[in-house]
Amino acid sequence: MEDNATMIVCPSKGDIRTAVNHLRGRGRTIGLVPTMGALHEGHMALVARAAELADRVVATIFVNPTQFGPNEDLSTYPRTLERDLQMLREAGVAAVFAPEPGEMYHTEAQTVVETTGLSRVLMGRLRPGHFRGVATVVTKLFNIVQPDIAVFGEKDYQQLAVIRTMVRDLDIPVRIEGVPTQRAPDGLALSSRNARLTEAQRAAAPVLSQAMAEAAELLAEGETAEIARARIARLIAAEPLAQLRSADIRDAASLAPVRGRPARPVVILLAVRFGDVTLIDQRVVQTRGEPT
């Protein structure tokens, strides 16, 4: 079989394991791009990065139920499998693992993976159990595919920190690579959830990146984290369709809370609700303030 000409689509763990063994051939490296489908240019940037770093790219499409809370959007999360497969095929992906929940989770599954500190702060406080679901499914995907490299978006900044920490703590032999957030021309971070916004909400949504840009400017000028955060809250409150869920300014490396004038790079983490859709965004800022 010519494994760089056709894309193999595997619904079962056994099939993807066989496909990956074949792709690996004589020492070829495997780059993994885990996704929940509803692909957009942000995902395709992950695929492109994986293709730069590894000999063969494997993608996964799985809307993971364990990372959604009881009142979250699992049932309405966009599902566009045929279109997704076409996009991955055109991008030269070698194999796709697209299981059903019953294939991924044993009916009596009782084992979870959790980064106990990182998963309970920030978005983890707003979405209890979310990062445990992410860490568990990503560990399972790593065990099933056994990639050399795995690529994730920096938009989900806390998710990336959780995955890096979990890989470090559990000695998982995979290199984790982050890819900068891809944006629409008006600044809105690309996200599968953008498809669920009404026209008016979509027009209002760039307020996230605008608020972060203003806060970043303040921080870069030496203003305090409190002033920058207050500016974000004011700008979001001025947009009638937007409701602020959280705005945090944290140490970019450790995600520890930051007060006063930050002396080290910080990350702005923002979650804003439009109707029943919550959008998140992030921005890392190099600061020049002295600690107060």
| 8-state DSSP, 107 | T
Q: H-helix or E-strand containing 59?
A: strand 56-61
Least distance in angstroms from the C-beta of 97 to ligand PAF = 11
- Whichever of 136 and 224 has its CB closer to ligand PAF, that residue is 136
Least distance in angstroms from the C-beta of 225 to ligand PAF = 27
Do the Cβ atoms of 182 and 189 come closer than 8 Å? yes
Per CB under 6 A, contacts with ligand PAF among 13-52 are 34-36
- Whichever of 35 and 209 has its CB closer to ligand PAF, that residue is 35
Per rule CB under 6 A, is residue 166 in the interface with ligand PAF? no
Per rule CB under 6 A, is residue 138 in the interface with ligand PAF? yes
Least distance in angstroms from the C-beta of 101 to ligand PAF = 12
Least distance in angstroms from the C-beta of 28 to ligand PAF = 23
Per CB under 6 A, contacts with ligand PAF among 117-136 are 134
Least distance in angstroms from the C-beta of 66 to ligand PAF = 9
CA separation (Å) from 283 to 17, 187, 205, 242, 254?
37, 12, 16, 19, 15
- Whichever of 78 and 92 has its CB closer to ligand PAF, that residue is 78
CA separation (Å) from 15 to 43, 65, 97, 109, 140?
23, 22, 9, 21, 15
Per rule CB under 6 A, is residue 137 in the interface with ligand PAF? yes
Question: How many other C-beta atoms lie within 10 A of the C-beta of residue 188?
Answer: 21
Return d(Cα 46, Cα 220) in angstroms, integer: 29
Do the Cβ atoms of 8 and 96 come closer than 8 Å? yes
Return d(Cα 19, Cα 83) in angstroms, integer: 22
The token duo for 48 is: 């492109």
Per CB under 6 A, contacts with ligand PAF among 209-248 are none
Q: Which of 40, 43, 106, 130 is catalytic?
A: 43
Per the annotation, the verdict on 22 as an active-site residue is no
- Whichever of 189 and 225 has its CB closer to ligand PAF, that residue is 189
The residues binding ligand PAF (CB under 6 A) are 34-36, 64, 67, 134, 137-138, 156, 159
Positions marked catalytic: 43
